[in-house]
Structure 1
């Protein structure tokens, strides 16, 4: 019999041809001994990227059912759809929260019943906050519609704008980050990052009516604080100026190191703002500016001004 027509023979031939046994043994040696990098040295259940994608989709649909759920929903069916979608999504979320809690320092025993109970409590609190999350998102959507003359409707903003996709993910992730599930929150925002090119750390504090126009290449760091009615354009960076190290040479984590942007600020394309500086209320930061100092309220900063400093 020709081995090309026999799947079992083809598999056996490939197995021997590629030296799979030796490769598997070498990978085991790397995984278990030479280059072991498991958290706390143990195999544990990881949050599922596929499941988290489903959570983002389900929560988006529960908050904006005709835009992200089913376009043909009616007044008679919409509440039923929202209820069933939310229930099934939260059932997935609680398991992902449980898994993510196993990566929080001090959670060495993932089989502890208390972790499951904590996951349930976190998910319940998160779910209760969804109406407030939606209210924030409505303010963001209105800011996009009002701030972009090319926007024909709020539906266009919801369906087409990558900045809205990114901020939806952030508004979902931030409450989970605050409740002590940073790995899951980071996974949510990084999925949006891969889709949009907009990188918002879930720890960033962002007030209402936030608008990212165009958006590609925007970076917002973990400890950034952004006030009301702020608008950013593409390739804006709100980053850290330096990374302090501890006595053992490791990076100091969690210290405030990103900018504070006060209310009613506009930051144009390509601007880079680094360090724990404050951009005062009502200021306008011009395109391609490199800024590492405080800016008083109602300022206008351009490349020329920065070059003269």
Structure 2
């Protein structure tokens, strides 16, 4: 008999698993894996990062004359892995339907082909993000330092990979990519958020950007900024309504300083400046400068009322 009663624990865990699967209308037989693998997704992101920036984020022994060979081999491997994971997601998504397995295989292949075709545009966007960080931070000594070291850029590499997956309907895989960046950097960007070129998060820790946020060009955010939802509408049965526009729209050239919280489907007009630690639930006109002091004056309040 085991010193730690492992057999009894295994049996109890089996009973709990089977009870949960029954409640979720899932098969009780132990079969093949039903969901994408976090381990495989992590490996794919690392490999894609190297393929996008081979001489800086690729293998340390890579030589420039072998660059195209490395990129081709890496992409071939990753796209086959992505196809397998996409099949798992689509199969799980339609587990209660009667679907031809060959149809799922082909649909997954089509989505992966579309994702692959977007990779040059992903690299182009990332170049604008890297340049925005270099130009926006006086402490940055080179674009290489920015790419290798800045958590905001690391988070954007993940987001620029995750967002096309989200748009192509591979939302679980997209979320897995995004949450990997969240765990590594403390920056939480939902893969559904639409972010224009030249986006820079200075320091970055604690930034939260919601699913339906829309961010224009050359926008700069500092740490602890939240672009969140103000309320969560429910249907007649009390269930949350999914997918409704509920996060801010940030127009071009807006700067949002540390600790600011912007909630709801409000618009921050082009060129606006949002000061630190303010709380905004209304539209901000283009070019406006919003600070704690200006909000207090507008509301006729006392210090601390904001």
Structure-2 separation of matches of 1:208 and 1:107: 40
Range 18-27 or range 175-184, more displaced:
18-27
What TM-score comes out, normalization by structure 2 length?
A: 0.91
Gaps of 5+ in 2: 300-306
| Aligned partners of 1:223 and 1:256 also within 8 Å | yes
Q: Report what 2:247 is aligned to.
A: 258
What TM-score comes out, normalization by structure 1 length?
A: 0.91
In structure 2, the CA distance between the partners of 1:39 and 1:76, relative to structure 1 (3 Å rule), is farther
- Note if 1:174 corresponds to 2:188: no
Q: How does 1:19-38 map to 2 (within 5 A)?
A: 19-33=5-19, 35-36=20-21
What is the aligned residue count?
Answer: 294
Cα deviation per residue 1:258-305 (whole Å; 9 max; x = unaligned)? 000000000000000000000000000001111111000000000122
Q: Which runs of 4+ in 1 moved over 6 A?
A: none
Q: Report what 1:52 is aligned to.
A: 41
SS at match of 2:10: helix
2:26 pairs, out of 1, 21, 41, with 41
Structure-2 separation of matches of 1:229 and 1:195: 24
Structure-1 separation of matches of 2:275 and 2:251: 16
1:189 pairs, out of 178, 189, 192, with 178
Structure-2 separation of matches of 1:128 and 1:291: 39
Q: Report what 1:199 is aligned to.
A: 188
Structure-2 separation of matches of 1:36 and 1:77: 49
| Aligned partners of 1:256 and 1:276 also within 8 Å | yes
Gaps of 5+ in 1: 1-12
| Aligned partners of 2:55 and 2:63 also within 8 Å | no
SS at match of 2:227: strand
